[in-house]
Amino acid sequence: MKVGVIGVGMTDFGEFWDKSYRNLIVEAGTLAIKDAGIEGKDVDAAYVGSMTPGLFIGQEHVGALVADYVGLRGIPATRVEGACASGGLAINAAYNSIKSGEYDIVVAAGVEKMTDVSTGRATVALAGAADQEWEAFHGVTFPGLYALMARRHMKEYGTTEEQMAMVAVKNHENGALNPHAQYRSTITVKQVMESIPVADPLKILDCSPITDGAAVVILASEEKAKKLCENPVWLKTSACATDALALHDRESLCKTEAAIRAGRTAFKKSGLTPDDIDFAEVHDCFTIAEIMAIESLGFCPIGKGGKFTEDGETKLNGSKPVNTSGGLKSKGHPVGATGIAQACEAVLQLRGEAGKRQVKDAKYGLTHNVGGSGATCVVNIFAGGDVE
């Protein structure tokens, strides 16, 4: 049985003092339900990705909250948490609940309100995704963890700071074409290189921002999807994997093993290969993360991600467009919503509705959503409605 995507909706991403957590999810949910052409009573269940609302806004128990305010009161509604991969895991849970035959129409939602607290408090909240005893307790932040990975990647493979900067430049070019993006301005390699240092070799323009936002996708069984949509997008497969939480316990700092495993499983289950993928949304929380992602997913050999980027292969007109939405770097990174927003972009691309950032003749799209420094990864593969 196939699983279709019958509706998507997302808010703008940014810093919204006039919108609450529930305002954001209501906005995205209303858009998704309207896009699907259904009513709330048609939905069987919901899974809500939200990383740490308790620390950001003092609110837990958000499954029931979201169901209530989006007009779904009474249905089973479960919060799903996997750090920054919470949204991807919500899609995975929704997908598996339909594949099992339990439900026909399921909401996968993601939401985070991050800017109501100080940067210091946000840093503490996000540090919960690292190993508390071995990393966070000693003051290592996520820029520090990814800086360690970047330095090792540079030493082993010759990756340069300029190549990492090119990731940021490319994603801002794409984000400038996305009306939902937090940052819609272009930047240059020189600006990235001269921006404020955060954790050597990463600068502020190598880092994704703190963001408010919500996104929702509505999945349906094959029978329901065909009944409700003329040409639904299909979620061919959803795969997730894990790795050691602490960096020092991993086989290598230069590879994200969870992404490698999730990618291999997704390709095996879908019957596709990396060459079949026409575009990808990957988890570029830092520029080095995108380079490691495209290597882990098999779009280029391990250690060649910097050169692949430098050669323009990941640009909108390249052989493998990556982060057509602008990615986390430009579109924004409301941690619980990120994986859902990636899926929204995949659906728009496969419908041919991505506007100026549209990938020509796109048939297959992939999303790659990572939790923390890579301990969790979800890979979803989507296919256009006219593709088996």
Annotated active-site positions, please? 84, 333
Q: What tokens were used for 260?
A: 């490698």
Cβ–Cβ under 8 Å, residues 304 and 295:
yes
Cis peptide before 179 (omega within 30 of 0): no
> What token pair was written down for 365?
């799209």
266 is written with which tokens?
Answer: 């997704």
- Amino acid 17 reads W
Choose among 313, 208, 205, 305: nearest CA to 255: 305
What does the alpha-carbon distance between residue 32 and residue 44 come to, in Å, rounded to a whole number? Answer: 15
* Among candidate residues 384, 369, 361, 381, the one with its CA nearest the CA of residue 273: 381
SS (H, E, C) 270-312: HCCCHHHCCEEECCCCEHHHHHHHHHHCCCCCCCCHHHHHHCC
Question: If we measure between CA atoms, which residue out of 23, 59, 13 comes closest to residue 335?
Answer: 13
